[in-house]
Structure 1
Amino acid sequence: MLDALSLVRMQVLLILLVAVIAGVLLGFLISRLTAKRSPRAEDAMTETDLARQEADLRERDLEIDRLNARLEADTFAADTDRVAAESDHVAAAAQAVAAERRAETLREQLDERNAELASSREELEALRRTTEAQATEDPAVASLREELRSRNARVAELEHNLAARDMEISRLETGAVTAWDTTVPNLEHRIDELADHNTQLQRELAAMSDRLDGQLGEAEALRRALQERDRRLAEHEGRAS
């Protein structure tokens, strides 16, 4: 998508260059035409038309300059938005990676807790068997039962911690997926909007170039008409003398 924006920008700059060259050539042609003005009263209307034509062309040049400035501003804004979009994209990716790393760390801790819980359960089972075997003859049964209750409480605490870890892992994974799914479509939509805007500017500049071509044709026709009139006047003055 970024390559497409660069191509559009190059095309617009080429169109502007052609328009500037056409404006220079037209200004040169108009200066040549205005240099051949006749002092006769009948030339006043033609010279007025030529001056109006020249004013229109100057106005077109100013419009082209305004469009060029607008294009440069929009291009700068597009580049700024693109850099910001890329930064947001990188930040979202970094957040996703960090969330994945935290989730992996929590998984490792969960595995350790599971191993500890399995070991505690094995110890409890061994203690239970020992207690059952000595319940009727060992004077330390009360102490063993107290230790068993303590181990049960420890197991319950570990199970609670494991459940909390599972909830934290789920929250981190959900947050990372949501950030990714929200950021990327917004970036793509913004880039598409910038591309459409540059395309519209290119169309406006193309239309302006077509109008300039029409103005050049009219100026050429006017120049030929003036040359024909000067030729006829010269012939008339030659016959009169």
Structure 2
Amino acid sequence: MDDLEHQLRDLAEWLDTPAAPDVVDRVHARLAAPARRRRRWRYYLAVALVALLVAVLPPGRAALADAVAGLLRFSGIVIDTSSAPISPTGSPSPLPSQRPASLHEAQGKLRFPIRLPTKLGPPEQVLVADADGTGSYRVVTLLYRGGVVRVDAFDGRLDPVFQKQAAGPGVDWVQVDGGFAVWIGGPHPLAYVDRAGTVRVESARLAASTLIWEEAGVSYRLEGDLTKGDATEIANSLN
């Protein structure tokens, strides 16, 4: 069994695959639904496709590798099962061009609206990071509870922004506001991927439990010493 087949079987396990015929029927029944609901069922169909690929295709196929690579990306975050784990530092360096800002100033430097989780209230500190040539920032971070709970928001539709290595806890699917989210239930190495696609190991750190989701083209990471239920409630309170 080669590395690719191992990756597929590992992926099928943490995707918690539903029965393929039921998934297909449900997807067809919702083709006329609003865009957010259609996106939700496309993930179900992708899950069924992974199970089918594992069951019937021989290892080593290029198309199979492409499918795996695509399904390991979620909302601008790469979950990498092929590389050696990053060795996170105890005190990582800040993200590129990171600096504090007021909420009002941060909003003027971003290309997406800042939404606050009402369950947490106003942030204690706001950070913006990774500016482009026009002075627009790629990431905004909201810090709570002395910085041990954080919400990162960024445009995750195209390029990866964060990278989680394979070492550490498993991954579960949950739902936020009727759409899919990914729950990483414990500490895991995390690095930042800059605009050039380079993994910035100097910024690598050991992240706490994390919930990842996307709404209206904006991706979110909620990180902290939280249960899955608490994190989901916080995410659903985004306003």
The bucket for the TM-score relative to the shorter chain is under 0.3
Q: Which has the higher contact order (CA 8 A, sep 6+)?
A: 1
Between Structure 1 and Structure 2, whose CA radius of gyration is higher? 1
Bigger strand share: 2
TM-score after normalising by structure 2: 0.23
More helix by share: 1
TM value normalised by structure 1 = 0.23
